[in-house]
Amino acid sequence: MAKEMCKRCGEKDYDRRTLKMACFYDMMEIGVPFTMSEDKNFYCLLVCKDCRADWMNAIKEWFYKKPVRESCGSGIFVRRNGATVEITEEEWAEENPDRDPVRVRP
């Protein structure tokens, strides 16, 4: 039996776990080396037990930490990972050095 490598930490061993996640968003955009399940319904990632535990802890932390949605007042909105978020003028300038933002004012 060939040793399989954890896609996150690179450890090689025989004992791997496959994380499967269903999502209507194109998760390939975030740069994680997912593979698709044969039926194309799940994003999959082969990991070791320690990395699986880290993933489970991250999901738990995400679930219990409620989002804070405060306006910074810039009126500059962008899409990040499928959500519309307001960013500061400084963030806009750093990400788009030669473009003026379109602003939404109340």
What is the structure's pLDDT at 93? 95
- The mean pLDDT of the chain is 91
Question: Which tokens go with 72?
Answer: 């910074």
Q: Where are the domains of the chain?
A: 4-64, 67-96
DSSP summary character for residue 65: S
Measured distance CA(9)–CA(64) in Å, rounded? 26
Residue 95 neighbours by CB under 8 Å, 6+ apart: 78, 87
pLDDT band with cut points at 50, 70 and 90 for residue 1: low
pLDDT band with cut points at 50, 70 and 90 for residue 106: low
Rounded to an integer, what is the distance from CA 25 to the centroid of its chain? 10
Q: State the pTM of this model.
A: 0.68
Q: Is the dihedral of CA 69, 64, 36, 31 positive or negative?
A: positive
- In DSSP notation, 56-103 reads HHHHHHHHHS-------S--EEEEETTEEEEE-HHHHHHH-TT-PPPB
For the cut 80, the answer to whether the pLDDT of residue 3 exceeds it is no
